[in-house]
Amino acid sequence: MLTLGFNCYMRDAAAVLVRDGEVIRAVEEERLSRIKNTGVFPERAIRFCLSDAGVDVHDLDAVAFNMRPWEGLSRRLAQVALGLPSSLAFANRGSDWAKMSAVPLHFARRFGRLPPWQWVGHHEAHAASAAVASGWDDAAVFVADGSGEIASTTTWHARSGRLTLLEQVDFPHSLGYFYSALTEWLGFTPASDEGTTMGLSSHGSPNRAISDRFAAMLALDGRITPAWFRYQDGGTSYYSALWTAAFGPARRPDEPVTALHEDVAYAGQRRLEEVVFLSLRRLQARTGCRRVALAGGVALNSVVNGKILTETPFDELFVQPAPHDAGTAMGAAWVAGRRGHGRVGHRPVAPLADVALGPAFGQDDCEAAVRRAGLACERVDDAAGSAAAELVAGAVVGWFQGRAEFGPRALGRRSLLADPRHRETQDRVNHAVKGRELFRPFAPSVLEAHAADWFDGPCTPFMTTVVPVRNARRGLIAAVTHVDGTARPQTVRADTEYGRLITAFYRETGIPMVLNTSFNVKGEPIVTTPDEAIADLLGTSIDVLYLGDLRVLRPGSGLTLGCRCFSDRAGRSDSL
């Protein structure tokens, strides 16, 4: 059973190819078009998935799309008839329903054939993406985002390969839009910079008056007071004048962040947590499950995720590594498999253990990119050990290995790495490499066997939870410890190439982790190709780049070639 799932005309367009329940290829369109968060028809992503897997459109048993557009249009029209403001009822989706309805025709024109077609509900696709990827056969599932056709928060019971919808909150009552409004008022880009808001919230302090205003805005059952929000067709604004009356004028992007902004971010984050935890407690009581799986854009809030096991009765947590709309392509493909072949369905084939499912480049591709750039380069016999030594010496290292990863996190295939021990490292990478706000934290990649010694809470291989750093350890890893004493760790197996790098760093320093951030600069997607990695090397203060086993220096870095060079079997020099 070969199924293709994809999404478009929202945000984060992507395509995913699934064979008998196993994901074999997945990529977001932004990684190929280089337009961040693009929602266009993902022709490049679809063509990559098919060609790289060696299959053709004629081989597909089903194609699945992550939305039922006619359902969304009809339900929102019903909201208008009930008297809700049309700007809220349609959100920014009104002009997209027609395009979504025409997606099958568009697919047939681009690919010359329309395989058997499946329309999959948006939240069902989210829920399936979490339930199947978890590998659990009996689990509660929580989905929260801006909205799908109409739903903005749903809870499910995944059992014996089936998903049962339990509760649903409909738009305009939306946790996702609430947090986007908060992000916009703080002067960041809504529906994009929510992670910045989350990072800023740790700098704030409790303020009863501010908390009371958020309580008036967002009820504990997840329902908003519409007068606080204004989401116009065209997407120009999320918040109404009530925000200005309550908190003062919105911050402009070029203005400094003040204590007020920090306290508002803090209170907004706390209110989101209260609502999510209450919903999860109801979900656990209803299902009796001890395990919960999360998806939807709100599941990107790793601060919320890290508190779930202490604030709710659940014992185990799984967060889809691509919980945003790109992940619905994966869920849609799995749902199509269920409908077309009874033994695939929602029932897990195996837990999703790795998201390195995108484009890969051979050594010849990497060498050709280096030559085009005219850079100094050499081949090394131990890239992991060599990179670790340079981290110990204070270098910022670009690490480009294997297949590109699916989802918003860099997990050791397309990463920028640095020494986690010194606070000045954080400032340097934020300012001179990433070009982002200095208050934003970086994440540690820690050897799996050592995670519990350093962090107090659930750590995951997909970097999806923020947890406390153990008190005695915080001063040892200042560059990855946030102002509130937390971190967002990624666990890494020692037997991987990335694990070997961290192990080598551990032997030299006694610290079983490195600072890891995505290989990109502000405003661009994570790099996909060797040429893109080299462009970031030349345009920032990255010191050295490892493309597979090629060591590439940035001119002016102060590093030299030769000490790790060796010859191949033909006897030619490996310095290029």
How many whole angstroms separate alpha carbon 501 and alpha carbon 292? 33
pLDDT at 115 over 80: yes
pLDDT at 575 over 70: no
Element (H, E) at 75: helix 69-81
Return the structure tokens found at 550. Answer: 């090629």
Residue type, 96: D
pLDDT at 561 over 90: no
Whether this prediction's pTM lies above 0.85 is answered by: yes
Cα–Cα separations (whole angstroms), residue 515 to 364, 411, 465, 499: 29, 11, 16, 13
Average pLDDT estimate for 17-42: 96
Position 572 scores a pLDDT of 34
Sign of CA dihedral 549, 550, 551, 552: negative
How many whole angstroms separate alpha carbon 126 and alpha carbon 430? 32
Average pLDDT estimate for 140-147: 96
pLDDT at 65 over 50: yes
Closest CA to 42 of 319, 344, 402, 332: 332
Percent share of the chain, pLDDT over 90: 80
The overall average pLDDT reported for the chain is 91
pLDDT at 492 over 70: yes
Position 437 scores a pLDDT of 79
Position 452 scores a pLDDT of 98
Kindly indicate the confidence band of residue 14, based on its pLDDT and cuts at 50, 70 and 90.
very high
**428 or 507, which is more confident?**
507
Kindly indicate the confidence band of residue 29, based on its pLDDT and cuts at 50, 70 and 90.
very high
Kindly indicate the confidence band of residue 76, based on its pLDDT and cuts at 50, 70 and 90.
confident
Domains of the chain (ranges; CATH) run 363-553 (3.90.870.20)
Instruction: Give 150-161 pLDDT, tens digit per residue.
Output: 999 999 999 988
Instruction: Give 352-397 pLDDT, tens digit per residue.
Output: 999 999 999 999 999 999 999 999 899 999 999 999 999 999 999 9
Percent share of the chain, pLDDT over 70: 92
pLDDT at 498 over 70: yes
Give the dihedral of Cα atoms 548, 552, 558, 560; nearest 10 deg. 90
Q: What one-character-per-residue DSSP string does 152-183 give? A: EEEEEEEETTEEEEEEEEETTS-HHHHHHHHH
pLDDT at 200 over 90: yes
Average pLDDT estimate for 228-252: 82
Average pLDDT estimate for 336-341: 73
Residue 41 CB partners (closer than 8 Å, separation 6+): 8, 9, 13, 103, 106, 110
How many whole angstroms separate alpha carbon 532 and alpha carbon 34? 10
pLDDT at 325 over 90: yes
Average pLDDT estimate for 209-232: 91
Instruction: Give 522-532 pLDDT, tens digit per residue.
Output: 889 999 999 99
Q: CA 101, 102, 106 angle in degrees (round to 5)?
A: 145
Position 412 scores a pLDDT of 98
pLDDT at 272 over 70: yes
Position 568 scores a pLDDT of 30
pLDDT at 307 over 60: yes
DSSP state, residue 276: H
pLDDT at 236 over 60: no
How many whole angstroms separate alpha carbon 542 and alpha carbon 554? 7
Position 571 scores a pLDDT of 33
pLDDT at 86 over 60: no
Position 528 scores a pLDDT of 98
- What are phi and psi for residue 467, nearest 5 degrees? -135, 160
Average pLDDT estimate for 96-119: 94
